[in-house]
Structure 1
């Protein structure tokens, strides 16, 4: 169901509830008077149509798709006024129809419908046996019909503008997200894949000379180029996987849950996700944070020999904190926070943290597991002592 369809259904349902309320009020007003057959039939007709619309969604859909069905309701209301007289309290039950005319019909048709309803009422008054009912019954009721039609039209126009504004905002957000995606892809291509491909290009140029001068060395170079090509392909796959993983239109906690669920299925290690709050991050920060979380999980799978991993998402004042803790073998981090020789995971975390101004804390020691904490500082940092874009390490 589209927002417009839902709006129309809510409007019609509300009008029917108002009509039922008006019938109840009218019945209280008729207490002490004889319940004649016309009054009883009018009550049954109004209440029956109202309950029919409320209880059967198909009737709502028909009224939404074919607003001209309201002509039948207008006729019913005018017939009720003609039979009961304009002084009968049940005339109150005709007002929701005027509101629906303005909300469901376009401006041109709404004007025609309002004119028919008001003119029909005036005609009933003029053909009545009483020469003068008073200002409210002669002028007030038809004026109220016109006002309710106008109010309904204003609500319809406001809803249409709101829907247009939401669509424009959605398009703008999608455009910003697409721009961020392109920028991230370009940065990833430059920082990893671009460098690898540049090295392959340089090696390929030199391979021609090695083939002529030293075939044995050319063979070594060819093997190195093949390995570099495999590395480039792997980097390209990793970039695409990361780009697919982050879906900016979904809540951060849902994406984290999917990442951890997939990691648990791939490695057979229980991975618990605990969300203590519902928060989100700017698009560029969120992408790098998820990449860091992914790297922390991969490190737990490759090096920690962990039997359980826990991922926590929490909010501390203006700050957002995501923690990945495992019960693995642990290690002794380098003092500068970078990766040990031959490894690049922590270095990558350091570079990603510096790229978007977040903080990564790594606490580990042999035999005590590893804890990776990612902190995105809000606009207010009361201590003012936290350096952003760095990796803190604790042995």
Structure 2
């Protein structure tokens, strides 16, 4: 994310002040062996103090950034140095930073006016000073450099503002896309589970008055079925809300998984160890489905495994590949050849369906008495190196 315009201005002005101090140091060394006159001492102190104050006291720098007109004092000091020491003095190098700061802090019209003042003041000082031979840098180079540095500062500041604006628009677009994904997931979840249950309840409720009139005994059975369906719908709604609360897109996936493991351990009293290796990042939609798969795997451990410990691991690899595993030391089971749930169960089938939606794959490694390991690979064709490392 790009820094804010004010923070960016702080950084550029800070660099310009450092350059000013370096230029003052260089100019001072060129005068070694000469008499330290009052004008030279005044110029050194005036230019050096402004640089040191801005660097040593951030409040001063922040004041200048928030109130650019305060820079007029620095412009006047610059012109005073040029007028006092002459246009051929090496201290003129230290005044170039003023032009850059003007371009960064002032809006374009004000920056142009300040550039005109700098150039006019310099040319006036050059005209007053009697020089036997005016070189190219004295006559043309320095004024052109003032203008160029003001222009560079202005362009850099404008480019940064455009970049910051583009970053804000991208962030808003991502937020809108995440909201759309969230609505789509909610609709899919309600259609796949809660919607079907509610439809069954509605059909049974429509038929109940008829059975009350024709066969009260059947009506009683249907009424009990309605009550069971209502409980099932309430349970599905609760599980749906829990799954939606698990994922927090503003938090890193690793933090969310660690929190899931801690909460599961606290609820079931079974140690759940979490480890992570490598950088891990997934899209909002993929991480939602994969978190649901991990949650289902942990739920299966709590219901069926009779495990004494569970290990949840995440491995990040090249090209954004991610491998997640949930391994327990429980009693295991005899898996189906196609990887789906045994008869009368639906957990493994749901995992496979969610993995397909996320563009991932699920592999179950288990056996009677040998514990169970659930491997989730995203994308489905994971880099072989990662799988070999955790095998």
Please report how far the alpha carbon of residue 253 of structure 1 lies from its aligned counterpart in structure 2 after TM superposition.
Answer: 2.1
1:12-65 per-position Cα deviation (integer Å, ceiling 9, x unaligned): 111111111111111121122122232223222222221221122212221221
Q: TM-score, normalised by structure 1?
A: 0.90
Contact 1:306 1:327 in 2 (8 A): yes
Q: Who is 1:329 aligned against?
A: 331
Matches within 5 A, 1:336-375: 336-375=338-377
Q: Who is 1:74 aligned against?
A: 75
* Closer, same or farther: CA 72–234 of 1 in aligned 2, 3 Å: farther
CA distance in 2, matches of 1:169, 1:283: 16
Of stretches 295-304 and 101-110 in structure 1, the one that deviates more from structure 2 is 295-304
Please report how far the alpha carbon of residue 360 of structure 1 lies from its aligned counterpart in structure 2 after TM superposition.
Answer: 0.5
Q: Who is 1:259 aligned against?
A: 260
* Closer, same or farther: CA 192–210 of 1 in aligned 2, 3 Å: same
CA distance in 2, matches of 1:29, 1:321: 64
Q: Who is 2:27 aligned against?
A: 26
Aligned residues: 383
Q: Who is 1:392 aligned against?
A: none
* Closer, same or farther: CA 60–213 of 1 in aligned 2, 3 Å: farther
Q: Does 1:193 align with 2:213?
A: no
Contact 2:279 2:317 in 1 (8 A): no
CA distance in 2, matches of 1:265, 1:123: 80
Matches within 5 A, 1:37-48: 37-48=38-49
Q: Does 1:178 align with 2:172?
A: no
Q: Who is 1:298 aligned against?
A: 299
Matches within 5 A, 1:59-138: 59-130=60-131, 132-138=133-139
Q: Who is 1:6 aligned against?
A: 7
Q: Who is 1:312 aligned against?
A: 313
* Closer, same or farther: CA 378–90 of 1 in aligned 2, 3 Å: farther
* Closer, same or farther: CA 2–241 of 1 in aligned 2, 3 Å: farther
Of stretches 273-282 and 262-271 in structure 1, the one that deviates more from structure 2 is 262-271
* Closer, same or farther: CA 83–259 of 1 in aligned 2, 3 Å: same
Instruction: Give the alignment's Cα RMSD to 1 decimal.
Output: 2.3
Please report how far the alpha carbon of residue 365 of structure 1 lies from its aligned counterpart in structure 2 after TM superposition.
Answer: 1.9
Contact 1:253 1:278 in 2 (8 A): no
Please report how far the alpha carbon of residue 10 of structure 1 lies from its aligned counterpart in structure 2 after TM superposition.
Answer: 1.0
CA distance in 1, matches of 2:111, 2:224: 79
User: Post-superposition, which runs of at least 4 consecutive aligned residues in structure 1 deviate over 4 A?
Assistant: 378-383
1:298-332 per-position Cα deviation (integer Å, ceiling 9, x unaligned): 22222223332222222455442111112223222
Q: TM-score, normalised by structure 2?
A: 0.90
Please report how far the alpha carbon of residue 267 of structure 1 lies from its aligned counterpart in structure 2 after TM superposition.
Answer: 2.7
Of stretches 170-179 and 5-14 in structure 1, the one that deviates more from structure 2 is 170-179
Contact 2:3 2:164 in 1 (8 A): no
* Closer, same or farther: CA 44–227 of 1 in aligned 2, 3 Å: farther
* Closer, same or farther: CA 11–330 of 1 in aligned 2, 3 Å: same
1:99-152 per-position Cα deviation (integer Å, ceiling 9, x unaligned): 111111111111111111111111222222436532211221111000000111
CA distance in 2, matches of 1:59, 1:246: 44
* Closer, same or farther: CA 341–6 of 1 in aligned 2, 3 Å: same
* Closer, same or farther: CA 15–316 of 1 in aligned 2, 3 Å: closer
Q: Who is 1:376 aligned against?
A: 378
Please report how far the alpha carbon of residue 382 of structure 1 lies from its aligned counterpart in structure 2 after TM superposition.
Answer: 8.8
User: 3-state SS of the aligned residue for 1:157?
Assistant: helix
Contact 1:102 1:151 in 2 (8 A): yes
Matches within 5 A, 1:102-251: 102-130=103-131, 132-251=133-252
* Closer, same or farther: CA 340–150 of 1 in aligned 2, 3 Å: same
Q: Who is 1:387 aligned against?
A: none
